[in-house]
Amino acid sequence: MSAVLIQEVKTVAELKSQPDDYRIAVEKIVVSHAVNELYGAQVFDEPAIALAPTPYAKWLTCRIAMEEYHHHVRFRSLADEIGVAPERMDPKVKQPLSIFSFELKTWPEFCVIKAIADYAEILQVEDLLHCSFHPLRNLGRITMPEEKFHAKFGKDSCLELIQAGQGDAVQDAINRYFPITPAFFGASNSKNNEMYRRFGLKQRSNEEMRADFLRRATELVEQDFGMTLPVIH
């Protein structure tokens, strides 16, 4: 393996003088966040406004949808600043991750997605907090409190459904949604991830993040909800 390169790149202007490998790695991370935030907002958050059962729930869901679109806008602006071609972020061109292939039909499904998938997103954003490219680090810091709010909204809403006698719908949504989530963290032997860590762009391996996620999902579903997490094969 080549020598560890830990450098601080403070601005977009400084990025331009970095080695190609570093710039390409930064672009990949920015594009992945820009696209994922847009997919999530389009397939889950915006449609969920119509599914929300009360005006209060609709208001909170509008806020979440607004924030998710804003996350896309922020990463997209950075992508534009560093010169990423717009078509690399077009959902019609770029295939969605499996986490977005779930067809949202009910309110309990949305609540489960927020509780579980937004926790997965928290882990991804957490990894940016010490990123060697400071504009990405700053986006992580701005985005984190909102992702935490989304995951808490999901957890609280699931608990409300369970208390209101709709635990079966929550368990059913967990059974169908949870199995597609671990793939969100990418391949265990990912060359990209190895490069991101070498450049100080990310801190943890995909496997470490997935293990963290599975630990937290188990705690959430089994301890907080008193439900069962499906076994993943």
**Residues making contact with Fe ion (CB under 5 A):** 37, 68, 71, 118, 147, 150
Rounded least distance, CB 131 to Fe ion, Å: 17
Rounded least distance, CB 195 to Fe ion, Å: 24
Rounded least distance, CB 147 to Fe ion, Å: 5
CB closer to Fe ion, 66 vs 85: 66
Distance CA 74, CA 56 (A): 27
CB closer to Fe ion, 74 vs 197: 74
Q: Which residue is nearest to Fe ion (CB)?
A: 150
CB closer to Fe ion, 68 vs 127: 68
CB closer to Fe ion, 5 vs 142: 142
Rounded least distance, CB 22 to Fe ion, Å: 25
Do 30 and 82 form a contact (C-beta atoms < 8 A)? yes
* Beta-bridge partner residues of 9: 133
Chain-centre distance for alpha carbon 185:
9
Rounded least distance, CB 11 to Fe ion, Å: 24
CB closer to Fe ion, 150 vs 210: 150
